[in-house]
């Protein structure tokens, strides 16, 4: 069934059936007006009908109907129908009135009602066909999202360890650390918060952006402790709050930045900038890299491929992702349309 829609077999069947049926109803023209006029009638009528239908499906519906601009849609749809009727009436006057000598058809408006009804019938049928196609595509998307979600949940369950044992172990280690070693205690506490977030708060479809940012900040702080003064690491967030986001959606980009960052004696940078402008969330990540490092799109970037797939499933037509690589740096720019 997927190939049926993918290769537009429905369009092929529709137009073959339309043209063949029209040829059958106009076969008498061969005896009365000649084969050339018969072919001309079939060509002109179906070309005009196809133009009217495709203008409606590929121009009027996406630009006006789907944008709920109903007044403009109805206006241009009427103009589309009027164009077809006028053009077909003109050809009918030529074919029946002059080529066949039927003076009753010399009246320009003789076939107006017939041509209008034909246009309305085929246009309605074509819209129904297009709606069926879109319904099938939407159903397949929902199915893929459900399968992806189930696979993610199964992987999560397989990888999950006993959280009580984990946190008890962390608390034990925390109290075993010398009280004067505040850095080690703070690091372990940040790590504990990250695990708590992953285990207990990431089970829903979306999570408040404030919690996601706190998780990212803890991760960056842990990485900052691992690197020395040769690394300049900045993390900024501006005007963030009041909306939700899919959990753990952003972390793979930041992980990649630390994974591929350069290791020169100086000048190693990682910059993370998160902001909101109106209904759009922006994330910009910059990091220096070694010239010999593989690109993120290669097999080393499996996490990045997974998050790109999640973006397609969860934010289809509501995101833009740009990954730029130069000899000495990577730069990632992500925008999401938020509710």
Q: Which range has the top average pLDDT, 112-121, 139-148, 191-200?
A: 112-121
| Residue 272: count of CB within 10 angstroms of its CB | 23
Contact yes or no for 201/207 (Cβ under 8 A): yes
> DSSP assignment of 119-173, as one string?
HHHHHHHHHHHHHHHHHHHHHHHHHHHHHHHHHHHHHHHHH---HHHHHHHHHHH
User: Average pLDDT in the 227-247 region?
Assistant: 87
- Greater model confidence, 33 or 79: 79
Tell whether the torsion through CA atoms of 231, 255, 305 and 250 is positive or negative: negative
Tell whether the torsion through CA atoms of 54, 55, 58 and 61 is positive or negative: negative
Contact yes or no for 249/213 (Cβ under 8 A): no
The pLDDT assigned to 4 comes to 46
| Whole-structure pTM value | 0.52
Residue pLDDT, tens place only, 254-299: 989 998 898 888 889 999 999 999 899 999 999 999 876 454 444 4
The pLDDT assigned to 134 comes to 81
Contact yes or no for 275/239 (Cβ under 8 A): yes
Domains of the chain: 2-151 (no CATH), 228-337 (3.30.565.10)
């Amino acid at each position: 069934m997927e190939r049926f829609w993918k290769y537009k077999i429905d369009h092929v069947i529709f137009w073959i059936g339309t043209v063949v049926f029209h040829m059958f109803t106009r076969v008498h023209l061969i005896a009365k007006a000649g084969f050339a006029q018969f072919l001309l009638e079939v060509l002109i009528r179906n070309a005009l009908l196809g133009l009217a239908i495709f203008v409606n499906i590929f121009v009027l519906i996406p630009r006006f109907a789907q944008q709920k601009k109903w007044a403009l849609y109805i206006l241009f749809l009427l103009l589309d129908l009027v164009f077809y009727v006028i053009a077909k009436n003109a050809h009918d006057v030529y074919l029946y009135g002059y080529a066949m000598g039927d003076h009753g058809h010399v009246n320009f408006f003789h076939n107006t009602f017939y041509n209008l009804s034909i246009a309305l019938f085929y246009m309605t049928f074509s819209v129904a066909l297009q709606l069926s196609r879109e319904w099938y595509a939407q159903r397949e998307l929902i199915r893929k999202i459900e399968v992806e979600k189930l696979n993610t949940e199964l992987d999560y369950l397989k990888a999950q360890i006993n959280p009580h044992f984990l946190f008890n172990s962390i608390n034990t280690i925390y109290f075993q650390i010398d009280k004067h070693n505040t850095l080690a205690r703070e690091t372990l506490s940040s790590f504990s918060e990250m695990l708590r977030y992953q285990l207990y708060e990431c089970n829903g479809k979306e999570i408040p952006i404030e919690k996601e940012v706190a998780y990212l900040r803890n991760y960056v702080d842990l990485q900052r402790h691992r690197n020395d003064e040769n690394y300049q690491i900045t993390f900024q967030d501006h005007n963030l709050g009041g909306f939700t986001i899919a959990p753990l959606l952003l972390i793979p980009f930041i992980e990649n930045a630390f994974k591929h960052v350069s290791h020169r004696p100086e000048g190693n940078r990682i910059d993370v900038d998160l902001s909101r402008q109106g209904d759009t969330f922006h994330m910009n990540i910059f990091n220096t890299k070694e010239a010999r490092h593989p690109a993120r799109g290669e097999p080393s970037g499996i996490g990045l491929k997974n998050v790109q797939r999640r973006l397609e499933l969860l934010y289809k037509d509501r995101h833009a992702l740009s990954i730029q690589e130069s000899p000495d740096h990577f730069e990632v720019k992500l925008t999401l349309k938020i509710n």
